């Protein structure tokens, strides 16, 4: 898959979950121990706005630190519409010529476009799983996207960022489905 296609597929995967999220489940606890579903959703929306700003090499529309929450509730009463708006902005910035091949300044240092897109895609898939799991919704991750983010996570999520942005890995059998192994690597019990 091309970098843009990976990002677009991750956005579609998360969007399908957000579209089906029952509003009465937004206060449910999530696999992110300190966040309920609304907080995870706001993190995802903030991540999309952050990606929009970083891909376009400008300040994001909504302030958020990687791994954190925006200063305001971005989901509001219509999370699906909020997601579509943030997703459209991130994808538009990702389509700017040269965006996905050049280096961008990020809050955690300079990052090549493919790495920035990889972290964004990984965040969307994992937090999509968090929301789906908390709301008892199915999650369908295309095989090629799942293979990409799983390999990316193995390379990018190491002990140097565990404890700060990612919890300790959870042991999952090698025979488990790839999504379960990814979720375990990202510190969750599938």
- Torsion sign (Cα): 153, 157, 163, 165: negative
pLDDT score for 6: 97
Q: Give residue-wise pLDDT tens across range 6-54.
A: 999 999 999 999 999 999 999 999 998 889 999 999 999 999 999 999 9
pLDDT score for 112: 97
* 13 close to 125: Cβ distance less than 8 angstroms: yes
Domain ranges of the chain: 3-185
CA–CA distance from 2 to each of 82, 99, 101 (Å)?
26, 13, 11
Whether the predicted pLDDT of 116 surpasses 70: yes
Q: Give residue-wise pLDDT tens across range 143-173.
A: 999 999 999 999 988 776 666 668 888 999 9
The C-alpha torsion from 75 through 123 and 17 to 69, rounded to 10°, is -20
Q: Cα 179 to the chain's mean position, in Å?
A: 14
The pTM (predicted TM-score) of the whole model is 0.95
- For the domain spanning 3-185, the CATH number is 1.20.120.450
- List, in order, residues 6 or more apart from 165 with CB less than 8 Å away: 66, 67
Enter the DSSP assignment of 108. Answer: T
Q: Give residue-wise pLDDT tens across range 13-22.
A: 999 999 999 9
Two structure tokens written together for 104: 């961008």
- Average pLDDT for residues 128-152, to the nearest whole number? 97
3-state SS, residue 104: strand
């Amino acid at each position: 898959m091309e970098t843009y296609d990976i990002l677009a597929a991750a956005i579609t995967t998360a969007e399908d979950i957000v579209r089906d999220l029952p509003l009465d489940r937004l206060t449910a606890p999530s696999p992110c121990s300190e966040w309920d579903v609304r907080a995870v959703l706001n993190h995802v929306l903030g991540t999309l706005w952050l990606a929009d700003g970083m891909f376009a090499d400008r300040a994001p529309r909504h302030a958020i630190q990687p791994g954190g929450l925006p200063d305001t509730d971005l989901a509001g009463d219509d999370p699906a519409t909020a997601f579509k708006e943030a997703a459209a902005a991130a994808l538009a910035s990702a389509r700017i010529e040269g965006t996905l091949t050049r280096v961008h300044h990020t809050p955690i240092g300079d990052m090549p476009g493919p790495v920035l897109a990889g972290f964004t895609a990984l965040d969307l898939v994992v937090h999509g799983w968090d929301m789906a799991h908390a709301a008892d919704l199915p999650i369908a991750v295309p095989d090629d996207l799942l293979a990409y983010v799983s390999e990316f996570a193995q390379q990018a999520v190491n002990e140097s960022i565990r404890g700060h942005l990612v919890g300790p890995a959870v042991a999952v059998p090698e025979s488990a489905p790839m999504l379960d192994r990814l979720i375990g690597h990202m510190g969750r019990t599938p």
